A and B are shown apart, each in its own frame.
Chain A
Amino acid sequence: MNLTSFLQDKRLTIALRGEIDHHSAKDIMRVVGNKIDLYLPRLCVLDFKDVSFMDSSGIAVVITAVRRMREISGKVVLRNIPDQPRKVLKASGIEKIAEIEERSPVYEM
């Protein structure tokens, strides 16, 4: 699994993509964990723009990222969540542990 990511000012943005289910989640968790360990960011942004489907396995992906980021006193933000993944995330009450960005910014400076 190859996930695009970029780092700017200690903000690590990881673009998730495709279908996140139990089959794909293990790999995604490992890659996200490795990237956090490598860059030690203050903020980890998970971008869901290209996620076409997600079940509760995606919740575990977010929880893993939150756990890792807490260890280094950082935070997780969820961005550009399409309707289907959003419904799953909301059903789990994920906003209690990770910030959901309500609107996608038009320009990212």
Chain B
Amino acid sequence: MKCENYMELEFPSKSANEAFARSAVACFAAQLDPTLDELGDIKTAVSEAVTNCIVHAYRDTIGVVTLKCRILPDDVLDITVKDKGCGIEDVEAARKPMFTTGGEERSGMGFTIMESFMTQLKVVSSPGRGTTVHMKRKIVRRGGKA
């Protein structure tokens, strides 16, 4: 698929980078002229995906998180969040609401929110090798834009 613009980021799985990651994606997405609502959805989904890397993939260690954004034809923002952490044994179970291995501090709503806030969500994981989350969001073109 033809990609009209892209960016790639790499950062260690430190929780201070959660805010950085979602803000960076929001800045990149700004060229599609999204509404505040769309921007909020994208930031939330990115925050969930990156938090998963930090809390679950690299549970007691620090590893590399790779974040890629592409702009595809028809104003589709394509986001990939990749880690080389522990992986997910049962992706289907992990995607269910309230499922968490993170204890009382986590709500288990991460994948549910990514799913409901984005147009498309795909999770590819292999235990021991890592997880890649692919998300797509179509930005609705508003009147008045050239």
Contacts and interface: CB of A to CB of B under 8 A. Distances in A.
Interface of A: 19, 21-23, 25-26, 29, 53-57, 59-60, 63-64, 83-84, 87-88, 91-92
* Chain B at the A interface: SS class: helix
* Chain A at the B interface: SS class: helix
Contact of B19 (A19, A83, A87): A19
Interface string B32-66: 00001100110110011001001100000000000
Interface of B: 15-16, 18-19, 22, 36-37, 40-41, 43-44, 47-48, 51, 54-55, 97, 104-107, 109-110, 112-113, 116-117
Given A60-B106, A64-B104, A88-B44, A23 B113 contact: no
Given A53-B44, A84-B37, 5 more contacts: A21-B47, A22-B106, A59-B109, A83-B36, A92-B113
A84 B40 contact: yes
B51 A22 contact: yes
Contacts of B107: 56-57, 59-60, 63, 92
A41 B16 CA distance: 33
7 contacts: A22-B18, A56-B110, A57-B51, A84-B43, A87-B40, A91-B109, A91-B112
A53 to B, nearest CB: 6
